[in-house]
């Protein structure tokens, strides 16, 4: 495997959160395109001005009109299943930053797990009573296994966001779970990944992170994301 198919989902709207100053829609997209080559841009509820801007990147653009983040995600599930049968696909939201060699790391992860996220979510190091993940011990640690590939270490983890990679053959087998927890205005990705784990699926993330969600409160640890 030399590259992964990417579906980059962008809209003019976002949840109201405090984000990194450099995490503009433009910078996140251009940062992503520096790391990944095979990219379809799904432009959901965008203006003509935004569409014109996106067209300058010489990538395939699919325009959609969804009534919420969950429905938008279901549109990209359909696109992936129709376009890339039995192939790897990376679903990406428009508020993430990626480090150099992200694609290489991602491809290595896909060789050892059903689902891969490049985002080492900060909630995996915060006890639930302090607003973290309910499966994190009181001392701020997650019970896991650690693996190593040529590029990085990986850990099994219980959940991630709607930015992740998998094989569409896996996705097809799991589609009922995905529809159950995401076919709403607001997707419940946490519950979805818990159900996938209960069904026997594996999810890994790198140590340290190769990407981050740009919400200030949940930046991936260790790396300085403000310089990208």
What local confidence, expressed as pLDDT, does residue 205 receive?
A: 98
Average pLDDT across the chain, whole number: 94
Q: Which CATH architecture has domain 5-227?
A: Alpha-Beta Complex (3.90)
How many alpha carbons lie under 13 Å from residue 94 in its C-beta half-sphere? Answer: 20
Q: What tens digit of pLDDT does each residue of 58-81 get?
A: 999 999 999 889 999 999 999 999
- Domain spans in the chain, listed from the N-terminal domain onward: 5-227
The residue with tokens 């841009």 is 41
**Average pLDDT per block of 10 residues along the chain, 228 residues long:** 90 80 94 97 96 97 92 96 95 97 98 98 90 87 96 97 97 97 93 98 98 95 93
195 three-class SS: helix
Q: The pTM is what?
A: 0.96
CA distance 76 to 92: 10
Residue spans of alpha helices (H) in 10-125:
25-35, 48-54, 69-83, 102-110
């Amino acid at each position: 495997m030399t590259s992964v198919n990417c579906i980059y989902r962008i809209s003019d709207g976002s949840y109201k959160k405090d984000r990194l100053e450099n995490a503009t829609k433009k910078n996140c997209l251009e940062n992503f395109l520096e790391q990944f080559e095979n990219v379809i841009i799904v432009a959901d509820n965008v203006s003509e001005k935004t569409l014109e801007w996106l067209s300058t990147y010489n990538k395939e653009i699919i325009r959609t009109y969804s009534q919420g983040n969950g429905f938008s995600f279901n549109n990209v599930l359909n696109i992936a299943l129709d376009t890339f049968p039995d192939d790897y696909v990376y679903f990406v939201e428009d508020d993430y930053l990626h480090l150099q060699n992200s694609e290489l790391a991602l491809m290595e992860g896909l060789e050892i797990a059903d689902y891969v996220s490049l985002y080492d979510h900060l909630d995996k190091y915060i006890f639930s009573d302090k607003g973290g993940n309910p499966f994190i011990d009181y001392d701020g640690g997650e019970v896991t296994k650690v693996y190593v590939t040529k590029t990085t270490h990986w850990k099994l983890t219980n959940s991630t966001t709607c930015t992740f990679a998998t094989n569409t053959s896996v996705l097809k087998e799991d589609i009922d779970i995905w529809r159950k927890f995401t076919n709403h205005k607001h997707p419940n990705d946490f519950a979805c990944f818990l159900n996938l784990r209960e069904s026997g699926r594996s999810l890994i993330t790198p140590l340290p992170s190769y990407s981050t969600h740009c919400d200030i409160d949940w930046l991936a640890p260790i790396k300085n994301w403000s310089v990208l």
